[in-house]
Amino acid sequence: MGFWHPQVSNHAKAALMEELCSPTSPLPYVKEVSQVYASGWPPSFWGDLYYYLADFDIRGRVGEEGGWLMATGSEHSVGVPHTHAGAYTASKHAVLALCDVLRGELPAHVGISVVCPGLTSSRLWEATRHRPGQYGGAAESDPASGMLMEQKGMSAATVAQRAFDGIAAGRFLIPTHYHVRRYAQKRAEEMAEAFELLAEIDTTDYDLATVVAQFRSEAAG
């Protein structure tokens, strides 16, 4: 790919995902996880980057009849479900932030939602079966490695239905797994406490819109 960055590289992603493996996981399975991510992270990163910078920009392609954008966030968009996933959590926070800004910039006839799912039953763990030859070729994954995701995750059909129901209702934020609420609540409680403490020191309003309005009023005399 002609691309390397210390945080977005085959080595970095493989190391990150290896850290997420259980300490009791058999070593061959741990190394298999590392190999999967070591073989395809830069192409995946470029694909995501192109999508958000190019494909996702529909400002000149949406007619007056309107439309709706749906972005896939994660339980990591609203809090910190677990540690050792800093880069991933940051990227999902960024998805939510980007869409939050977009909903104020998009024309009135274009809506936007962010779906924030948790553990979902899928065959993502088998992704190596489609790996291109230039990145190591297709490979078979041990079925045991996907047991947790497939057997314990919410069905993809349920996640999709809840996403479509949320869009139909015009909701911006669409969580699909109820347990994610506690991650969001923890963040909200910490923020509320921090601002309550700040209120004891200073409550001056530095909101940009407020400051600009005051500046213009003072300039006009």
- 26 with 77, same domain: the answer is no
Domain boundary (9, 35, 57) is at 57
pLDDT for res 92: 92
- 51 with 64, same domain: the answer is no
- 106 with 170, same domain: the answer is yes
pLDDT for res 190: 97
Domain count, the chain: 2
- 6 with 85, same domain: the answer is no
Question: Residue for token digits 């001056």?
Answer: 204
129 is a domain residue: no
Bridge partners, residue 112, by sequence: 69
pLDDT for res 2: 46
Encode 175-211: b = buried (16+ Cβ within 10 Å), e = exposed.
bbbeebeebbeeeeeeeeeeeeeeeeeeeeeeeeeee
- 75 with 42, same domain: the answer is no
pLDDT for res 1: 43
- 39 with 95, same domain: the answer is no
146 is a domain residue: no
Q: Which amino acid is at 18?
A: E
Alpha helices in 21-131 (DSSP H): 27-50, 86-105
CATH number, position 187: 3.40.50.720
Q: Taking CA 179 as the corner, what is the angle to CA 177 and CA 183, rounded to the nearest 5 degrees?
A: 115
161 is a domain residue: yes
143 is a domain residue: no
- 6 with 97, same domain: the answer is no
130 is a domain residue: no
Q: Is residue 145 within 8 Å of 32, Cβ to Cβ? A: yes
147 is a domain residue: no
- 179 with 163, same domain: the answer is yes
pLDDT for res 160: 94
pLDDT in tens, the chain (221 residues): 444 554 555 566 666 667 667 677 788 877 777 776 666 656 666 666 666 666 666 656 666 667 899 999 999 999 999 888 787 888 899 999 999 999 998 888 889 999 999 988 877 667 667 666 766 677 777 676 677 777 888 999 999 999 999 999 999 999 999 999 999 999 999 999 999 999 999 999 999 999 999 999 999 87
133 is a domain residue: no
- 70 with 109, same domain: the answer is yes
pLDDT for res 162: 97
176 is a domain residue: yes
pLDDT for res 43: 62
- Domain holding 93, by residue range, is 60-118+154-219
Domain boundary (57, 80, 102) is at 57
